[in-house]
Amino acid sequence: MIILYIPFAKDEAGDLSQAAEAWVINHRNNSIESIMVIHHQDEFRRAEILYASSLYVLAHGCDDVNMIANHIDETKGQRISISTLTDRFNQDILAIAHSIGFIHIYCCGTEQDNELRARQFQSGYLRAENSPIYFYKGTVFSPDARGMLWSFAENHFQRAENRRRTLSQAKKAEEKEVIPPKLRHLYSMFQKAKETRHKHYIARCKKHRLHFFDNKRQIQSLDDFEEPSVSASAC
């Protein structure tokens, strides 16, 4: 599954919504893989999110490496910091983090600038150890009519996947050091739900194991049972 995440509310998404719509159309014309768009503050059914989904964070790069924009023309749009992006991402996506297999920071910029953006995002994302984070080099585009992603850099076009780079996997840090107070309750809810699912899983395993051994003992008892010989006397 592909998720296109726009870190702006629908009424503040600039030209990103239009780019996402074109992406969805060209993707569906070329692939049966499911795709959906999530804006900041959107409500969606968590059950619809498939395991190991690929999530693309859609934004426009800015001259300031610490910022992203919602419009290709910055004079017509709105800018937010990478810190604000990660705060919004945590608010919107943390509850389905276990289903996100890959995260793509999909915005225009040099390799160096986009690596810095991706690292800032990684340092603020509360489940960064769960998913590899990719970033791209050059001016990136929505899929073309054949469903292909392209990047323009060094005066020529190339498949975007060939200009994709991967951040090293984040190491798990102590909760109190990485979680802002305003998001700590969300993370706590996520952890409790995870622990509850694990306890239920262990309980089911124990139940199945007991059932297995009970059946095995019953079979063993039947194997050990010896029928009376036909020549034996009944008295």
Is the CB of residue 3 less than 8 Å from the CB of residue 56? yes
Per-residue pLDDT tens over the stretch 143-188: 999 999 999 999 999 999 999 999 977 665 544 455 666 566 666 6
Residue 81 and residue 180: Cα distance in Å, rounded?
A: 16
Is the CB of residue 116 less than 8 Å from the CB of residue 147? no
Q: Pick the residue with more confidence: 145 or 202?
A: 145
pTM for the complete prediction? 0.73
pLDDT at 98 over 70: yes
- β-sheet bridge partners, residue 39: 6
Is the CB of residue 82 less than 8 Å from the CB of residue 27? no
Per-residue pLDDT tens over the stretch 50-63: 999 999 999 999 99
Q: What is the mean pLDDT of the chain?
A: 84
Is the CB of residue 190 less than 8 Å from the CB of residue 94? yes
Can you give the pLDDT at residue 229?
33
Averaged over 67-95, what is the pLDDT?
Answer: 95
Can you give the pLDDT at residue 200?
54
Supply 80's token pair.
């937010």
């008892």: which residue's tokens? 221
